[in-house]
């Protein structure tokens, strides 16, 4: 039996595969705005398992499956036997007998890998404590919609270099843009991921200096200071306020630079209301593009 085509992380996907996923996501969006697109996943079923809350990921996957002619089943891990101790491996084997593809939002990245190892259908990473690759496909799509090819551009990540930042690092290696991450020292990106990306030839700058990181950037990205897996809350509250993306920070970037945030956001913490609700913000496009990106990821896994 051929190994299923999993979508686990962007470091495991070749540059040209990512390019294809982005182009098809844009084509799905364009077709929907016209006469609608074909339904390549007719008769297919997606099972989604959530160990943590979700608004965008859940709804965009459900909408994407319906748009492609398939359907989605949403499962709360606590309401499954998984929540009572049935193993991930057995869950993978059983679900593989019912559905064509599985998405997992996991507390621990290792659980995603175990699911993929034991599933005979493709598995998609719907966010773990380590990464969030579906989000970055939508974000790259959004950047390119507004500014053209991302290759050669400068993206600045500001604040907590969390799971979303890790997927940006993977993407920098695959899509060839400069990525600068400005974080207070305890909240910098995992060294192994940065070393991997540099080894792939990616231009990655890690610094605690906000001003130098955002200077001349084409896009500034941030995320919540408190992720669903975060610890050290007092240290976060003490160190991260200096990294709020406000109008002063946006003014240091290239004129007209984009502002991105995967959402949910806390206005007045990682971003000021004036920036997220202002003219440079493309956060609603990012959210919308999750659905088109997901269609393309689903089709890539299943076709």
Contacts of ligand NVA in 95-154 (CB under 6 A): 127
Q: Of 134, 219, 262, 301, which one is the catalytic site residue?
A: 262
Q: Of 24, 37, 56, 105, which one is the catalytic site residue?
A: 105
Question: Could you say whether residue 29 binds ligand CP (CB under 6 A)?
Answer: no
- When binding is defined by CB under 6 A, the residue of 60, 96, 118, 162 that contacts ligand NVA is 162
Catalytic-residue membership of 135:
yes
Identify whether 264 is preceded by a cis peptide bond (ω within 30 of 0): yes
| Distance (Å) of CA 212 to CA 60, 162, 205 | 36, 20, 10
Contacts of ligand CP in 239-298 (CB under 6 A): 262-263
Q: Taking every pair of C-alpha atoms in the chain, what is the biggest distance, in angstroms? A: 56
In the complex, minimum distance from the CB of residue 125 to ligand CP, in angstroms, rounded to a whole number: 11
User: Which tokens go with 80?
Assistant: 């499954």
CA distance 303 to 300: 6
Question: Could you say whether residue 11 binds ligand NVA (CB under 6 A)?
Answer: no
- When binding is defined by CB under 6 A, the residue of 60, 91, 163, 222 that contacts ligand NVA is 163
Catalytic-residue membership of 3:
no
* CA 112-128-148 angle, 5° bins: 110
Run of H or E residues at 161: none
- The span of 42-50, 101-109, 157-165, 172-180 binding ligand NVA (CB under 6 A) equals 157-165
Catalytic-residue membership of 219:
no
Q: Of 11, 100, 129, 135, which one is the catalytic site residue?
A: 135
- When binding is defined by CB under 6 A, the residue of 57, 161, 167, 289 that contacts ligand CP is 57
Provide the β-strand partners of residue 121.
none
CA distance 233 to 187: 12
Q: Which does 55 bind (CB under 5 to 8 A by kind): ligand NVA, ligand CP, none?
A: ligand CP
End-to-end CA distance of the chain: 16
Half-sphere exposure of 263 (CA within 13 A, CB side): 19
Residues designated as active site? 105, 132, 135, 223, 262, 290
Q: Which parts of this chain interact with ligand CP (CB under 6 A)?
A: 54-57, 127, 135, 262-263
């Amino acid at each position: 039996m051929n190994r299923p085509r999993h979508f686990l992380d962007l470091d495991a996907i070749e540059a040209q595969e990512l390019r294809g996923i982005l182009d098809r996501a844009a084509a799905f969006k364009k077709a929907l705005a016209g006469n609608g697109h074909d339904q390549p996943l007719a008769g297919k079923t997606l099972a989604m398992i959530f160990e943590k809350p979700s608004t965008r990921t859940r709804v965009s996957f459900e909408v994407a499956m319906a748009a492609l002619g398939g359907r989605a089943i949403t499962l709360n891990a606590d309401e499954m036997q998984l929540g009572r101790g049935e193993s991930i491996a057995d869950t993978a084997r059983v679900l593989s007998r019912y559905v064509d593809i599985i998405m997992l939002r996991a507390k621990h990245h290792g659980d995603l890998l175990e699911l993929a190892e034991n599933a005979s259908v493709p598995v998609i990473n719907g966010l773990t404590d380590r990464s969030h690759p579906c989000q970055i496909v939508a974000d790259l799509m959004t950047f390119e919609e507004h500014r053209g090819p991302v290759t050669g551009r400068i993206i600045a990540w500001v604040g907590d270099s969390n799971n979303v930042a890790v997927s940006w690092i993977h993407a920098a290696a695959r899509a060839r843009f400069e990525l600068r991450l400005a974080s207070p020292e305890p909240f910098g990106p995992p060294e192994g991921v940065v070393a991997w990306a540099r080894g792939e030839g990616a231009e990655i700058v890690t610094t605690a200096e906000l001003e130098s990181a955002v200077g001349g950037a084409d896009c500034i990205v941030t995320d919540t200071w408190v992720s669903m897996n975060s610890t050290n809350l007092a240290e976060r509250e003490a160190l991260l306020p200096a990294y709020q993306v406000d109008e002063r920070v946006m003014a240091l970037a290239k004129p007209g630079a984009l502002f991105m945030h995967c959402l949910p956001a806390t206005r007045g913490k990682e971003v000021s209301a004036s920036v997220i609700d202002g003219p440079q913000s493309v956060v609603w496009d990012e959210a919308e593009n999750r659905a088109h990106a997901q269609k393309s990821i689903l089709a890539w896994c299943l076709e």
